[in-house]
Amino acid sequence: MTVKIGVVGCDGRMGRMIVKAATAADGAEIAAGCDRPDSADLGRDVGELAGIGPIGVPLGDAAAAVFAAADVVIDFTVPGALAEHARLARDTGTALLVGTTGLQAAETAALDAAAERAAVLWAPNMSLGVNLLLTLVERAAAALGPDYDIEVLEMHHRHKADAPSGTALALGRAAAAGRGVDLSGTAVYAREGQTGPRRPGAIGFATLRGGDVAGDHAVIFAGPGERLELGHRASSREVFAQGAIKAALWLHDRPPGLYAMADVLGLSS
């Protein structure tokens, strides 16, 4: 059986990589793709846009047509587009895989609502390595305890629009979970000027931007007399596209519900 994949945000950096990865994958094909109505590339073949030659799928401007044509829709767009895509998943029952980061409460609520009637998976990072790192960070935070200060460091390419990265926030949540606390009460997202000493129990974040860095993350546990660092470096954004296709093939025939990348990768406890 071939799983029909639809791509919203098909003309973006990740959208194009998804087209390339899906076309190369066994058991998957691109059924439809769309981007914003003001895209200069509307009507062009999405395979050509992805640099792999024509695949007979023109770039459209209607997300509804993508949901109608696909078994699973992949969304790497912007948070502002998510409410509509979640509504379409809910109305059609089509599975929805979301990689978009920078979501606020309204967008996560829309995904929760969609998950009542469709299989939905949101993951701020689709790589195997990062999802394994999340479990390691939670275990390390639990084992080391509050004497070890936790700092999350990330660097991404110059085009990235949100900060800290969705992955850095997920690492912070994993560290907080390991300590049995909520990230919102402990996170320190920026420091400047006379900050005073470090607040006990704080989970700090530092963000770097530049060049074409696909995604570097490190979680530092700084304790008395030693420092433990757990990290991950993505050398290509292709790793996220490969992970997305693996997740889409896993998700397309699941019952309605909210799933995580850990479920796909067998890392759920």
Which of 76, 148, 205, 259 is the binder for ligand NAD (CB under 6 A)? 76
> Which span (22-30, 94-102, 110-118, 220-228) binds ligand NAD, by CB under 6 A?
94-102
* Residue at 241: amino acid letter: A
Candidate residues 77, 94, 131, 186; the one interacting with ligand NAD per rule CB under 6 A? 77
- Specify the pairing of strand 216-223 against strand 226-233: antiparallel
Whether 159 is a known active-site residue: answer no
Interacting positions 158-187 with ligand NAD (CB under 6 A)? none
Q: 228: which strand partners?
A: 221
CB of 82 to ligand NAD, least distance (A): 9
Distance CA 133, CA 159 (A): 25
Site for ligand NAD in 35-64 (CB under 6 A): 35-36, 39, 63
Compare residues 111 and 144 and give the one whose CB is closer to ligand NAD.
Answer: 111
Q: Which of 20, 156, 232, 252 is catalytic?
A: 156
C-beta closer to ligand NAD: residue 13 or 254: 13
Instruction: Indicate which single residue of 14, 28, 134, 137 sits in contact with ligand NAD (rule: CB under 6 A).
Output: 14
How do beta strands 203-209 and 72-75 pair? unpaired
Write the CB contacts of 244 (distance below 8 Å, at least 6 apart in sequence). Answer: 14, 18, 21, 74, 76, 97, 99, 126
242 in contact with ligand NAD (CB under 6 A): no
3-state SS assignment for residue 74: strand
Q: Give the residue, chosen from 23, 94, 100, 131, that forms a contact with ligand NAD under the rule CB under 6 A.
A: 100
> By C-beta, is 101 or 186 nearer to ligand NAD?
101
Residues with Cβ within 8 Å of 231's Cβ and at least 6 positions away in sequence, in order, are 133, 216, 217, 218, 219
Least distance (Å) between residue 234 CB and ligand NAD:
8
Burial label, 38 (beta-carbon count in 10 A; 0-12, 13-18, 19+): exposed
In DSSP terms, 121 is beta-bridged to 97, 259
Please identify, among the stretches 21-29, 119-127, 173-181, 195-203, the one whose residues bind ligand NAD according to the rule CB under 6 A: 119-127
Is 20 considered catalytic here?
Answer: no
Q: Are strands 149-156 and 119-122 parallel, antiparallel or unpaired?
A: unpaired
CB under 6 A: which stretch of 50-58, 72-80, 217-225, 250-258 binds ligand NAD?
72-80
Which of 52, 65, 78, 213: binder of ligand NAD (CB under 6 A)? 78
| Separation CA 55–CA 83 (nearest Å) | 29
Name the residues annotated as catalytic: 156, 160
